[in-house]
Structure 1
Amino acid sequence: MRNDEPSLIERAKRYDPKAISELYRRHVQSIYRYIYYRVGDVNVAEDLTADVFLKALEGLEGFTYRGIPFSAWLYRIAHARIMDHFRQQARRELLPLDERLATAEEGPQAMIEAKLDHEELQSAIAQLTTDQQQVIILKFVEGLSNAEVARILSKSEGAVKSLQHRALNSLQRIMRRKE
């Protein structure tokens, strides 16, 4: 952090274009890299980076400098946007299955195959422990964050992440056996 960051933030809060540009210039590359290494797609990383700075600008008035680098706040915003992206991506991957089950436009064969895929997944989830089932459903069906899942299950975020990891590994093994 540079010594002028607190005053730069205060100027940016007053929508000083030079201050906003300077904060952007100082942090855009590190935020972009952080996002890129999480999502692995240049276009998505660029879009999410732009979203981070837009959210930061929108929330800047509520930001209070407390000696912690401005970049820490930007990384928290970036993390939230990445998680939103992954939740939306998971929903997009689930929607076609639900749409196929709901419509007969693709014909009976496609509906039967989609129903079988859905039933296989449900069967695989049923083989997980109760805690693992809850985490998978809350995370991937309900689209909740780890923090939200942790609060609901009265567990730490670390425990939720561990349960999720073990559940996904178990699902992968179960689905491979069925192939």
Structure 2
Amino acid sequence: MAQSDEKLIKELIKGNESAMEILVKRYYDLVYSFIYRNTSDYNTAYDITQDVFIKMMKNIDKYQIENGKFKSWLLKIAVNTTKDYFRSKIYKQRIQSYDIDNHEIEDKANVIDILLKKEDAIKIKEAIKNLPKLQREAVILKYYNDLKI
């Protein structure tokens, strides 16, 4: 039987490392996919996900069960850490140095399909970006992470 988040959190606060491992395994895919949908870069999503779990560990004693589910608290950390990334110098440097000519498409038969999918994805991302902040976060959490609004 799986342990509840609350029990694992209590164990983690006591210093139980296996509780941390269980929580990370339980929520890693959720956090990573949320961040990837915001950054569209595997490596960046990986780095930010690691930061989220480090922040979770450092601040676990601040989590209050009566204020909501652990999953929501953890995703709030993910939202804030992703925002911090977009404000950072690293993000600005990556945007400036991005050069589309460095990307080669190996399978030329699929070029049109790839471009059409990319164009659709860009349109969807732009539409989501143009939403007000709270609506944007709600759409991402609802449709990409299957959370209730």
Q: TM-score range by the shorter chain?
A: 0.5 to 0.7
TM-score with structure 2 setting the length? 0.58
Per the alignment, residue 45 of structure 1 pairs with 45
% of aligned pairs identical? Answer: 27
Q: Counterpart of 2:24 in structure 1: which amino acid?
A: Y
Per the alignment, residue 72 of structure 1 pairs with 72
Per the alignment, residue 27 of structure 1 pairs with 27
Shift of 1:90: 8.5
Moved over 3 A (4+): 89-93
Larger Rg: 1
Distance in 2 (alpha carbons) for counterparts of 1:60 and 1:24: 13
Alignment of 1:82-101 (within 5 A): 82-89=82-89, 92=92
Shift of 1:91: 7.5
Shift of 1:6: 1.1
Matched, 1:16 2:16: yes
2:52–2:81 Cα contact (<8 Å) kept: yes
TM-score with structure 1 setting the length? 0.48
The alpha-carbon distance between structure 1 residues 12 and 90, as it changes in their structure 2 partners (threshold 3 A), is closer
2:35–2:45 Cα contact (<8 Å) kept: yes
The alpha-carbon distance between structure 1 residues 67 and 6, as it changes in their structure 2 partners (threshold 3 A), is farther
- State the aligned residue count: 96
The alpha-carbon distance between structure 1 residues 11 and 88, as it changes in their structure 2 partners (threshold 3 A), is same
Distance in 1 (alpha carbons) for counterparts of 2:40 and 2:92: 18
The alpha-carbon distance between structure 1 residues 91 and 3, as it changes in their structure 2 partners (threshold 3 A), is closer
Deviation string 1:16-48 (CA, Å, 9 cap, x unpaired) is 011111011100000000000000000000000
SS in 2 for 1:15: coil
Per the alignment, residue 36 of structure 1 pairs with 36
SS in 1 for 2:88: helix
Q: Counterpart of 1:5 in structure 2: which amino acid?
A: D
Deviation string 1:40-94 (CA, Å, 9 cap, x unpaired) is 000000000000000000001111112722111111000001111111158835x
Greater relative contact order (Cα < 8 A, sep 6+): 2
- Where structure 2 has 5 or more consecutive residues not aligned to the other structure, the ranges are 97-131, 135-149
Q: Counterpart of 1:83 in structure 2: which amino acid?
A: K
Per the alignment, residue 7 of structure 1 pairs with 7
Q: Counterpart of 1:44 in structure 2: which amino acid?
A: T
- Where structure 1 has 5 or more consecutive residues not aligned to the other structure, the ranges are 97-157, 163-179
Deviation string 1:131-172 (CA, Å, 9 cap, x unpaired) is xxxxxxxxxxxxxxxxxxxxxxxxxxx5xx59xxxxxxxxxx
